[in-house]
Amino acid sequence: MPASRRILASWQRSEGYGVSPESIDPVWTGEVIADSLFFTCGREVLTALHATLADEPVSLMLTDPDGLVLNRISSDPSLLQALDRVHLAPGFAFSEREAGTTGLGLALADRSPSLVRAEEHYNASLAGYTCAAVPVLDPLTGRLEGSVNITTWSRQSHGLLLALAQSAAGNTAALMLARAGGRTPRPQPAGAVFRIHGLRLAPTAETLREMSSAWGDAVERTAGALAAGRPVAVVGERGSGRATVLAQALRRARPGVRILAADTPDPTQVEAWLSLWMPELAKPETAVIVQNVDALPAWAAHEMQAGILRAAGSAGAALWATTAGLLPDVPPPLAALVATVVDLPPLRERTADVMPIARHAAREARLREVAFTRAAEHALTSHAWPGNAAELVRVVRAAASRTDTVDVQHLPPDVLSPARSRLTRLEALERDEIIRSLARPGTTVGRAAAEIGISRATMYRRMARLGISVPTGPGG
């Protein structure tokens, strides 16, 4: 979406929020909580950047996802004093709701890099500044952590301002990932739009009967609401099966309906993504599942709301549903349309669902039944699955593609040891080597210790320190 249209949409939202166009009404939140990984890494990055810009009239800031200013670094006393006068300072909230259109407010609302110059600010008291801001997402979860904001005088050259902010935000996310114990970053959202034929990635009918009561209750509640024509939001962690609940519920409530799934893409692709599926809302026998609407830019949420209302006027009702992490994270224009909220617990709280999903995933990978040893079942059901059912499906498909009987040696090392807060690179290498040795059929702890070159007692101590507990023997 062109920057000018984004700024216009932000001005319209600012007016709707009742923001003063003349003066900043400060919103003081009190003491800043500065113990997050995002804050620690962001401060380190901005401190290093400031060392190269010490003679420049710029202010470097971090904000939380709600626009609260967490810190501010500048060597220019006059700029700091001026920013104090407009309350762009630590402890003050500066989102669109509080300050109208600003660089940081727009970056957080649209989840996109944003540059707001002089008169583009909604509030006239900010016309003397140019602000560039870039959102920072947690590289593991995709959750919005906050923003990096660089502010300078409007009379200064700002050609490189946004590039500097993007570099700082990228370095912050990279540092967060480096300190996350070597875990794999979340894939970037692709924003696919696809038709669901049957139950995509869902357990088959016979497997569904084996699922947990939590799953069955979620499907039942969702189906009841959809049958009554009420839009539903299924909330919970990513990968937990929220879209699958909606697909199964739609099949139950509206057996002949055509189901489209539209997963929110990177903010730069949202405009084209909307054009792919929004016209489908007006078709009475088509249902649309919009996934991860909590990642939508604010302008897109307003366009989606308008499209839903138009479709409802022409078709009598637009059949749609959505998924999100939490209802408060759903953009207000869409939250206002949601009639029913269904909470789906994460997979670690639905242990009974692990093996039904695993067996289905293995069957999809090999197109026939695949066996699991008791040791493999124990490892799968004992794992915390931070990536939920989506992670389980990836792991099992990879294992089933190599064997007719899945055993522990076919599973990745991190599945075979309980999750810890953070492992150093050396600890991760040590853990993987121990697990590889223990996973070989017929290997005892003593044999694995001898192979690695340590004593049996040392092996047990290291297993305890690294949280490794691997059942021995192919049958568990």
Q: How far apart are CA 56 and CA 76, in angstroms?
A: 8
Asked if the 349-466 domain carries CATH number 3.40.50.2300, the reply is no
pLDDT given at position 425: 62
pLDDT given at position 182: 55
Q: What share of the chain is helix, strand, coil (3-state, %, to 5)?
A: 50, 15, 35
In 3-state terms, what secondary structure has residue 115?
strand
Residues constituting the chain: 476
Q: How far apart are CA 327 and CA 349, in angstroms?
A: 20
- pLDDT tens digits, 253-299: 999 899 999 999 988 899 999 999 999 998 888 999 999 999 999 99
Please choose, from the candidates 173, 108, 167, the residue with its C-alpha nearest in 3D space to the C-alpha of residue 138: 173
- Top-confidence range, 19-28, 151-160, 359-368: 359-368
Which two tokens mark 89?
Answer: 């300072």
β-pair type (258-263, 371-372): unpaired
Q: How far apart are CA 93 and CA 240, in angstroms?
A: 33
- Checking if the pLDDT of 214 tops 60, the result is yes
- Checking if the pLDDT of 114 tops 90, the result is yes
Q: What is the pTM of this model?
A: 0.76
Helix and strand totals (H; E) in the chain? 18, 13
Least confident of 144-148, 187-191, 376-380, 409-413: 187-191
Domain boundaries, the chain: 3-178, 193-345, 349-466
Least confident of 38-47, 206-215, 410-419, 443-452: 206-215
- Average pLDDT score over the chain: 87
CATH of 193-345, one of 3.40.50.300, 1.10.10.10, 3.90.1260.10, 2.60.40.2550: 3.40.50.300
pLDDT band at 426 (very low <50, low <70, confident <90, very high): confident
Taking the CA atoms of residue 455, residue 459, residue 461 and residue 464 in that order, the dihedral angle to the nearest 10 degrees is: -170
Instruction: Over range 410-435, report the average pLDDT.
Output: 72
- pLDDT tens digits, 17-47: 999 999 888 778 767 777 889 999 999 999 9
pLDDT given at position 196: 78
Partnered with residue 106 across adjacent β-strands are none
Q: Half-sphere exposure of residue 389, counting CA atoms within 13 Å on the CB side?
A: 33
pLDDT given at position 436: 76
Please choose, from the candidates 114, 346, 86, 150, the residue with its C-alpha nearest in 3D space to the C-alpha of residue 237: 346
Please choose, from the candidates 157, 168, 164, the residue with its C-alpha nearest in 3D space to the C-alpha of residue 62: 168
Which two tokens mark 423?
Answer: 């492992």
pLDDT band at 476 (very low <50, low <70, confident <90, very high): very low
Partnered with residue 261 across adjacent β-strands are 194, 289
pLDDT given at position 140: 83
pLDDT given at position 103: 96
- Checking if the pLDDT of 340 tops 60, the result is yes
CATH class for the region spanning 3-178:
alpha beta
Q: Half-sphere exposure of residue 459, counting CA atoms within 13 Å on the CB side?
A: 20
Please choose, from the candidates 413, 448, 405, the residue with its C-alpha nearest in 3D space to the C-alpha of residue 431: 413
Using the structure block, give the residue that is written with the tokens 């759903």.
330
